[in-house]
Amino acid sequence: MTELPRSIDAIDTPAAVVDVDRMHANLQRAAEYCRAHGLAWRPHAKTHKTPALAAAQVRAGAVGVTVATPREAEAMATAVDDLLLAYPPIGRPKLQRLMALPEHVRLTVGLDSAEALAGLAEAARAAGRRVGVLVEVDAGMGRVGVQSSDDALALVRAAAETDGVEYRGIMFYPGHVRMRVEAQDAGIRALSERVGRTLEALHAAGVAPGVVSGGSTPTFWRSHEIEGLTEVRPGTNIFNDRTTAEIGACAWDECAYSVLATVVSTSVPGQVVVDAGAKALSKEEIRADVTGYGALLDRPDVIVKSVSEEHGIIDLSGTDWRPRIGERVRIVPNHVCVSVNLHERLYGVRGEEVVDAWEIAGRGR
């Protein structure tokens, strides 16, 4: 890490900036919710990919963290000793890297196929390592996960009977329930019923799961309504983002992450161009009725209406504010996880002061 800039004004743009007080408040709020409802909190490190922030999550009460890739696992293992890889590791290189994690790391892996189970068990036996397994169940998203209670039972039995791995439970990801929080009733109910049927089948067969891991940022505050849930894995809500605020799962002033950018052109009337585009914010859309790729932290009604690779175009049609060339703005992106992934470091700020900086060590392969 190069020397810390003293003030936010001394950071060159575009740059990824974290309001540390908001971030810690977000962690406290999540931890308290989980404590109040008896849920284990295992935040997903994909959002920050930063070991020091995973350590902050554990200090705030997390039981460990979730990761999606071997690189994230390796980086987080430097700071946290309980990891869930919520992604099936397919192929020898990934399995070898997992088995090479420090011995003190308690490793659990989520998977949804006999092939993934067999590969993991073989690698675990060869390494003489104890590895836990969660069987991933499709709770309605239609992305991954076994499709029926029968399939869940079959894979759970296989996990329970396979040498080298330890059956620890089931997991699911409710990525399809991402509408506004107050409109989630039917989604949460369907989710609860679907998970409930699987739990019944597993109980009846004598292979009840110790861990039932689910949750996400959009559904986070309703996790306690999902019957049988023991663990939640929200990623985004350490920082929050424009999507999270838009669906009502956070307040705007709970957005802790922004991209610092500089106005570089004011030539075209009704807009200004900043030096943060698709390679700093990303070009992910929210929905057809929520346009743009980000909004200003201090002026949430002012949006980045379009992006090219290194250009963000800020729409001034609804504001009297007229920034000049060289002026700086802070932009809350639509999706924080993919924005963080575009940066090499995070600057921690308190007001105008830069109080910390972290290499985003879990990026890449």
**CA–CA separation, 97 vs 119, rounded Å?**
13
CA distances from 223 to 10, 142, 194, 218, 229 (A): 41, 20, 14, 10, 8
Q: Stretches 58-66, 138-146, 219-227, 242-250: which one binds its own copies (CB under 8 A)? A: 138-146
Residue 326 CA to chain centroid, in angstroms? 33
**At a CB cut-off of 8 Å and minimum separation 6, what does 325 contact?**
263, 264, 265, 266
| Helix (H) or strand (E) run with residue 159 in it | helix 149-161
Least separation, in Å, of the C-beta of 21 and its own copies? 25
Does 263 interact with its own copies (rule: CB under 8 A)? yes
Judged by CB under 8 A, does residue 84 bind its own copies? no
The distance of Cα 228 from the centroid of its chain, to the nearest Å, equals 22
E strands present in 6-141: 15-19, 40-41, 65-67, 82-85, 106-111, 131-136
Phi, psi of 143 (to 5 degrees): -110, -65
Is 102 a binding residue for its own copies by CB under 8 A? The answer is: no
Query: Which CB sits closer to its own copies, 60 or 281?
Result: 281
For residue 2, how far is the Cα from the chain centroid?
A: 27
- By CB under 8 A, how many residues form the interface with its own copies? 58
Residues 33, 41, 87, 239: which binds its own copies (CB under 8 A)? 87
Q: Which of 175, 196, 228, 248 binds its own copies (CB under 8 A)?
A: 175
Q: Is 210 in the site for its own copies (CB under 8 A)?
A: no
Assess 78 for contact with its own copies (CB under 8 A): no
Nearer to its own copies, 110 or 187 (CB): 110
Task: Determine if 113 is a binding residue for its own copies (CB under 8 A).
Answer: yes
What's the min distance (Å) between Cβ of 281 and its own copies? 11
Interaction of residue 230 with its own copies, rule CB under 8 A: no
- Selected binder of its own copies within 278, 286, 290, 300 (CB under 8 A): 278
28 contacts its own copies (rule: CB under 8 A): no
Residues 58-77 that bind its own copies (CB under 8 A): 68-69
- Contact segment (CB under 8 A) with its own copies among 25-33, 238-246, 256-264, 294-302 equals 256-264
* Neighbour order of strands in the sheet with 231-232: 40-41, 231-232, 211-214, 165-171, 131-136, 106-111, 82-85, 65-67
- 275 belongs to the binding site for its own copies (CB under 8 A): yes
CA distances from 242 to 43, 346, 353 (A): 19, 18, 24
146 belongs to the binding site for its own copies (CB under 8 A) = yes
351 near its own copies, judged by CB under 8 A: no
- How many Cα atoms within 13 Å fall on the side-chain side of residue 69? 11
The tokens describing 100, both together, are 């090479």
**198 binds its own copies per the rule CB under 8 A:** no
Give the pairing type, strands 131-136 and 165-171: parallel
Residues forming the site for its own copies (CB under 8 A): 12-15, 46, 68-69, 87-88, 90-91, 93-94, 112-113, 115-116, 138, 142-147, 151, 175, 262-269, 273, 275, 278-279, 282-285, 308-311, 313, 324-326, 337-338, 341-344, 364-365
